[in-house]
Structure 1
Amino acid sequence: MKLFSRIYGSGKDIIIIHGLFGMSDNWATFAKRLSQKFKVHCVDIRNHGNSPHSIFFDYDFISEDIINYINQNNIYKPHMLGHSLGGKVVMKLVLEKKNIFDKSIVIDIAPKEYDISFHQFLLEKISKLRLENYTSRNQIESDLLKSLKNKAITQFILKNLKRDNERFLWRFNLSVLKDNLKKISHANFCKGVSDIDIMFVKGENSDYIDSKDLNRIRNHFSNSKFCEISNAGHWVHAENPNDLYDEIISFL
């Protein structure tokens, strides 16, 4: 599978991997800033954004896609940056293929299994929208907001809405995400130890990483570093991009 990507700047390569329901465009503003010092590759993982759809969706397939992307683009020892689901992909890659990567960054995710009830709720509400019955984006936004009762999450999901001629479509592969959600909740790939330099970033207001996770991280990543970004929740890059940028530049 050939992944879609947005590439900015020149120099040492850094590959950014987004999270569930995300896409490369979510990272465009941050990537453009990073591109002052690096060649930044924002990829769309399979079944997201502008990348191809497939019935197969788990960490093995996503990781293989990233390795193929590196080979297709003749990239040598890139830095890796992954957010949420993308962070788990980075963990898997640097555990299994550490010799082909340089310093890496995992944003607001730990090597553990997460409860999927909220994501199941999102997928259920999204599935109930019959896009063929809508004639405007505003109508879809209004109905989704009534269901989700959260404007920020509604706007995040709607970034995936596209119009093809007279039809509205989701960029993500809705049915495959529903069928494979359990497969991406776990961290069964976390076996062994990687000594790669890796920084785990936590949003101050996020509960995705807690104090109990630090030992688990150290057990698998012997050269791990931790930092907390103030005034930020799970979407650290959107809520406090300045502090995140400073931490990344200092680390790399």
Structure 2
Amino acid sequence: MLLRRLHRAPAPPRRLRPRPLPTAAAAARSVVTAVPLSLGEERGRADRAPLVLLHGLFGSRANLHAVAKALVRGGSGRPDLVERLISVDISPTSTTPISEFSSYISAMKSVKIPDGLPRSAARQLADDQLRPVVQHPQLRQFLLTNLVEVEGHYVWRVNLDAISHHLVDIMNFPVFHKPYPGPALFLGGSDSPYISSQDYPEIQRLFPKADVHYIAGAGHIVHQDKFEEFITAVLNFLPPP
């Protein structure tokens, strides 16, 4: 915070006009182009195959950085490519009926932040405006990781318009007929609706060697709500090095 000493009475504060927060892809049109992927790497022992972590909607590689570091320290060597699979709080079924992402997107679009605010003040203002719709504090902080400053303006770095337009497709799951033969773990939060007993038949059909495990007290962002329990569950599923 920059503190400035005033030797005379300050001028009346300039009135800042809030405006709807634009999306980072406001200039996108009908042309579809490839987007280069951003990735990070945590190096472990060279004789061990990699463990690939893929984040979900509204996420980024930064969300799983601490998880990657903890798993590198704890082991996770794999002899073959995709020897086993872990699905974190998601089922191979449509999640449209239970998803609240549509309301989250609407709330993010309606956020208004004046130009020129310090980042901390902008985040607090956005947090206050999201709170009536996104009531879970940790979920709001997760969404706010997408708030970035571009030339003095605060924008969402994710393409909210495109996500909103294709949300049903994103929340659906493709039709597969050939099952995955390897071991699989469906790791859910006990307080989240994204893996339910109604999903078990489809999980069993597509992943016949799957186990379902719930972490008590965790919501949809399992690794953030119960970090230690999440790491333990992952390491217990992976074979010893």
Structure-2-length-normalised TM-score: 0.72
| Offset of residue 103 of structure 1 | 1.1
| Offset of residue 134 of structure 1 | 6.6
Q: Report the structure number with the largest CA radius of gyration.
A: 2
| Matching residue of 2:108 | 126
Correspondence for 1:7 among 41, 44, 53: 41
| Matching residue of 1:36 | 73
| Matching residue of 1:97 | none
| Offset of residue 165 of structure 1 | 2.7
Q: Which has the higher helix share?
A: 1
Correspondence for 1:232 among 190, 207, 218: 218
Structure 1's 102 and 158: CA in aligned 2 closer, same or farther, altered over 3 A? Answer: same
Correspondence for 2:158 among 150, 160, 172: 172
Correspondence for 2:85 among 101, 104, 108: 104
Equivalent-residue separation in structure 1 for 2:86 and 2:70 (angstroms): 17
**Structure of greater relative contact order (alpha carbons < 8 Å, 6+ residues apart):** 2
Q: Is the 8 A contact 1:14 1:38 kept in 2?
A: no
Q: Secondary structure at the match of 2:166?
A: helix
Structure 1's 200 and 146: CA in aligned 2 closer, same or farther, altered over 3 A? Answer: closer
Q: Secondary structure at the match of 2:197?
A: coil
Equivalent-residue separation in structure 1 for 2:133 and 2:236 (angstroms): 42
| Offset of residue 32 of structure 1 | 1.1
Structure 1 gaps of 5+ residues are 41-75, 79-100
| Matching residue of 2:18 | none
- Deviation digits for residues 132-176 of structure 1 (CA, Å, limit 9, x no counterpart): 657341322322224534433322211111112312121211111
| Offset of residue 38 of structure 1 | 5.4
| Matching residue of 2:147 | 161
| Offset of residue 5 of structure 1 | 1.0
Q: Is the 8 A contact 2:115 2:152 kept in 1?
A: no
| Offset of residue 213 of structure 1 | 1.4
| Matching residue of 1:90 | none
Matched residues, number: 196
- Deviation digits for residues 18-55 of structure 1 (CA, Å, limit 9, x no counterpart): 11111111111121111215589xxxxxxxxxxxxxxx
Q: Which has the higher strand share?
A: 1
Q: Secondary structure at the match of 1:227?
A: strand
Structure-1-length-normalised TM-score: 0.69
Structure 2 gaps of 5+ residues are 1-34
Superposed structure 1 runs of 4+ greater than 6 Å apart: none
Q: Structure 1 residue 17 and structure 2 residue 45: aligned? A: no
Q: Is the 8 A contact 1:9 1:37 kept in 2?
A: no
Q: What percentage of residue pairs aligned between the two structures are identical?
A: 23
